[in-house]
Every structure is written in structure tokens, then in C-alpha cells.
Amino acid sequence: MSADHLVRRNAGGGSTRAAVGAAGLPAAPGLQTVLVTCMDTRIDPAVVFGLKPGDVHVLRNAGGVVTEDVVRSIVVSQRKLGTREVVLVRHTGCGMATITDEGFAGELQAATGQRPPWPVHAFADAAAGVRADAARLRADPFVLPDTPVHGYVLDIAAFTLTPCT
């Protein structure tokens, strides 16, 4: 698949679900919530949480980890767009649990001659990682004080959530 294929899929305004009324929605999420989850293609946040366009800000990356950029986005979302809650979701069967920071950085160095200047954020235990990320957000001086931060692990087979914060 190429970018051209994706652009062709968009011809005529994209999917009906995305096109219906999305232009008239405010940028601020209606549920005043930021959702941080993995970029895994098996996870569709709209399906998992029954979301509609305009409900939440969704931030996705490899592993659904709280990185410096995720913190930046949460802070902008809170201070400029009125969000007040954060939901962190990692999942079972995540590829980030099958690598290590050192191992992947070594692979990149072998392939390119350089080590990445950024951390990989691999993890062995999804629940422990969610708890650590929640603690990081609660301690961050730029995240609004007393922000409710909820954390879950999504069972990728059953699509059930287990709380872990």
C-alpha cells in the first residue's frame, strides 16, 4: 500500500463516519479526555471505547507510552482545549514488550552506524509501565494538578480492559 492508495480512498471526503458532521465539531473534545494508546493496528479506539468524532483527543505511539511529546500534547490539550482527564491504555501482545531499549538501539546502530538520540521505551510489563507513566503525569509540573489519570491494559484477544492504576 502506498500513500497514493490512501489518498484515493479519501476521494469524495473519506469514510462516511469521519465525514458526517466532523467539520462542524469544535477542536476541544466533548468528553474533556485525552486517551494515550498504542499505534497497534488491531486497536481502534473508537471501537474499543464507543467513541464518536469529537469525543476525545487520541495520542498514539509505539507501546502507548508517555514520552516527552505525549506530555507536551497532554499539556496543550489541557491548557488550550479544556481536557481534564487522561486515560492510558497499553495492551497484551504488544511488540514493545518483545524488545529492549539497548537491543533495538544496537540494531539501529548496526544498520545505520548511529545510536538513536531518543529512548525506545520498550517494556516487559504493560501494567507496570502504565503505573509508571501515570505517576510521571501526576508528578509533571505542567500537567494540571489533581488531573485524574486512569490506566488500563487491554486484552487484545477479548478486548476487555483491566485497571492498573
- All structural domains of the chain: 29-163 (3.40.1050.10)
The three grid cell numbers given for residue 84, joined into one nine-digit string: 481534564
User: Are residues 120 and 65 in contact, defined by beta-carbon separation less than 8 angstroms?
Assistant: no
CA nearest to 81, candidates 61, 55, 45, 50: 55
29-72: pLDDT as tens digits: 999 999 999 999 999 999 999 999 999 999 999 999 999 999 99
pTM: 0.91
- 161: amino acid identity, one letter: L
- 4: amino acid identity, one letter: D
CA distances (Å), origin 115, targets 6, 91, 152:
32, 28, 32
Own/partner pairs, 135-141, CB within 8 angstroms, 24+ separation: 136/66, 136/71, 137/66, 137/71, 137/74, 137/86, 137/88, 140/71, 140/75
77-126: pLDDT as tens digits: 999 999 999 999 999 999 999 999 999 999 999 999 999 999 999 999 99
